[in-house]
C-alpha cells in the first residue's frame, strides 16, 4: 500500500500525519510526499519507506497535477490519499487494505475534526477521539452521492485511478477538482462507498466564504460547467453573488470585482 500526500507550507501538520502513520497497526508499504511550489524537505527515518517529489507551477497550486504525480510514482497497487492536515487513526491503513481487496471502488474514509489547539496537546495521539468532533456534513454510510466525495481521505486501486483518468489538470488552484474526479468515476461506472478508515483533520484558519480563492473558484466553476453542464460549489457561488463579487445565473458566471484585503480578512475564521 502506498500512502500519498501533497503539501505546501504545512510542516507541523505533515509531521503529525507521519507520526500517526508510525503508530499504524499496519505500516504502509511506502509514503510519497509531493511538495508543491516549495523546496523538498529532508525527513528523518520513519519506520517505513518515504520518498519525496517536487512540482512547481506559476501562479497557482498544482493540486491536480501533484496528486497525479504521486499516483504515478507509487509502487503499490493500493493507493491511499491523505490530506497533509490529516492524522490517520491506527487502523486506517488496515481498513483500506481490506477494502481495496474488493472490486474496483472509490473508497472515501471518515473524518473527524480536531478542535483548535489540539495539535499542541502533548497527549494528542492518545486523545484523538476526545479532542475531535464528527463531520457535520458527511456521515458514515455504505454509499454516498458523488457530489459529496472529496480528496481529504480516500483510497482506490491504481487500476481504478487510471480508469477514472486521474485528476483533471484543467482545474488550476483551489476548487472543483474533487467533484470533477468523482463525476469522472461515475462516468466510468466506478462506485463510491464509505469506509470506516478514519482520519482526524487538524484545525487551521480558514475563510468563509473563501474570498482568498475567489478567482480560482470562479475559473474552475466555469471549467466544471463546460465539462458537466452543472455548477459546482453552489454554496460559495451564492455567497459571492450575494456580496456583489460575481454575476451568476444558470448559464453564465463572471467576476464583478475582487475582494479588498479588508474583506478577505473579515472572512477569516480562526
User: Both 14 and 128 in a single domain?
Assistant: yes
What pLDDT does residue 22 have? 98
Q: C-alpha grid cell for residue 26?
A: 499496519
216 Cβ neighbours under 8 A, 6+ residues apart: 60, 172, 173, 174, 175
Beta strands of 158-270 (E only): which ranges? 192-201, 206-207, 246-248, 253-255, 268-269
User: Both 155 and 236 in a single domain?
Assistant: no
Q: Print the domain residue range for 253.
A: 206-269
User: Both 254 and 158 in a single domain?
Assistant: no
Kindly state the DSSP code that residue 119 receives in the 8-state scheme: G
Domain's final residue, options 201, 221, 254: 201
User: Both 160 and 34 in a single domain?
Assistant: yes
Residue 192's SS3 state is: strand
User: Both 7 and 49 in a single domain?
Assistant: yes
User: Both 159 and 249 in a single domain?
Assistant: no
- The tens digit of pLDDT for each residue in 164-188 reads 999 999 999 889 999 999 999 999 9
Instruction: Give the position of cell 472572512.
Output: 267
User: Both 222 and 150 in a single domain?
Assistant: no
Total count of domains within the chain: 2
Tell me how far apart the alpha carbons of residues 234 and 259 are, in angstroms, rounded to a whole number: 19
Residue 127's SS3 state is: coil
Whether the CB-CB separation of 190 and 164 falls below 8 Å is answered with yes
Whether the CB-CB separation of 34 and 6 falls below 8 Å is answered with yes
Tell me how far apart the alpha carbons of residues 254 and 194 are, in angstroms, rounded to a whole number: 36
Calculate the CA 6 to chain-centre distance: 9
- The tens digit of pLDDT for each residue in 207-251 reads 999 999 999 999 999 999 999 999 999 999 999 999 999 999 999
Tell me how far apart the alpha carbons of residues 257 and 59 are, in angstroms, rounded to a whole number: 19
Tell me how far apart the alpha carbons of residues 115 and 203 are, in angstroms, rounded to a whole number: 6
Q: 70: left (phi > 0), else alpha (psi -120 to 50), else beta?
A: alpha
User: Both 183 and 145 in a single domain?
Assistant: yes
User: Both 188 and 64 in a single domain?
Assistant: yes
Torsion of CA 138, 139, 141, 145, to 10 degrees: -20
Does 143 score more than 80 pLDDT? Answer: no
When the pLDDT of each residue in the chain is averaged and rounded to a whole number, the result is: 95
Beta strands of 95-169 (E only): which ranges? 106-114, 132-134, 153-157
- The tens digit of pLDDT for each residue in 42-74 reads 999 999 999 999 999 998 899 999 999 999 999
Query: Hey, how many other C-beta atoms are within 10 angstroms of the C-beta on 69?
Result: 20
User: Both 166 and 249 in a single domain?
Assistant: no
Percent of the chain's residues with pLDDT above 90: 92
User: Both 197 and 216 in a single domain?
Assistant: no
Domain's final residue, options 144, 175, 201: 201
Instruction: Give the position of cell 475559473.
Output: 219
Does 27 score more than 70 pLDDT? Answer: yes
Q: What is the pTM of this model?
A: 0.94
Residue 131: give its domain's CATH number.
Answer: 3.90.550.10
User: Both 51 and 170 in a single domain?
Assistant: yes
Tell me how far apart the alpha carbons of residues 26 and 158 are, in angstroms, rounded to a whole number: 19
Domain's final residue, options 173, 201, 229: 201
Q: What radius of gyration do the chain's Cα atoms show?
A: 18
83 Cβ neighbours under 8 A, 6+ residues apart: 5, 151, 152, 153, 199, 201
Amino acid at each position: 500500500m502506498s500512502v500519498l500526500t501533497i503539501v505546501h507550507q504545512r510542516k507541523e501538520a505533515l509531521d503529525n500525519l507521519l507520526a500517526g502513520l508510525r503508530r499504524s497497526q499496519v505500516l504502509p508499504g511506502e509514503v510519497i510526499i509531493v511538495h508543491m511550489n516549495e523546496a523538498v524537505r529532508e525527513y528523518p527515518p520513519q519506520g517505513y519507506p518515504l520518498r519525496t517529489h517536487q512540482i512547481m507551477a506559476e501562479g497557482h497550486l498544482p493540486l491536480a497535477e501533484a496528486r497525479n504525480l504521486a499516483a504515478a510514482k507509487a509502487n503499490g497497487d493500493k493507493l491511499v490519499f491523505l490530506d497533509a492536515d490529516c492524522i490517520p487513526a491506527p487502523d486506517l491503513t488496515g481498513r483500506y487494505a481490506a477494502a481495496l481487496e474488493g472490486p474496483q471502488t472509490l473508497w472515501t474514509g471518515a473524518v473527524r475534526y480536531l478542535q483548535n489547539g489540539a495539535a499542541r496537546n502533548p497527549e494528542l495521539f492518545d486523545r484523538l477521539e476526545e479532542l475531535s468532533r464528527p463531520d457535520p456534513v458527511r456521515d458514515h454510510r455504505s454509499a454516498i452521492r458523488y457530489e459529496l466525495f472529496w480528496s481529504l481521505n480516500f483510497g482506490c486501486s491504481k487500476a481504478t485511478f487510471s480508469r477514472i483518468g486521474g485528476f483533471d489538470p484543467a482545474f488550476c488552484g483551489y476548487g472543483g477538482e474533487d467533484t470533477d474526479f468523482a463525476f469522472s468515476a461515475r462516468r466510468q461506472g466506478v462506485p463510491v462507498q464509505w469506509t470506516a478508515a478514519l482520519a482526524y483533520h487538524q484545525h487551521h484558519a480558514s475563510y468563509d466564504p473563501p474570498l482568498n480563492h475567489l478567482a480560482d473558484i470562479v475559473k474552475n466553476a466555469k471549467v466544471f460547467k463546460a465539462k458537466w453542464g452543472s455548477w459546482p460549489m453552489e454554496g460559495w457561488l451564492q455567497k459571492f453573488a450575494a456580496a456583489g463579487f460575481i454575476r451568476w445565473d444558470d448559464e453564465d458566471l463572471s467576476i464583478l470585482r475582487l475582494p479588498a484585503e479588508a474583506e478577505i480578512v473579515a472572512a477569516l475564521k480562526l
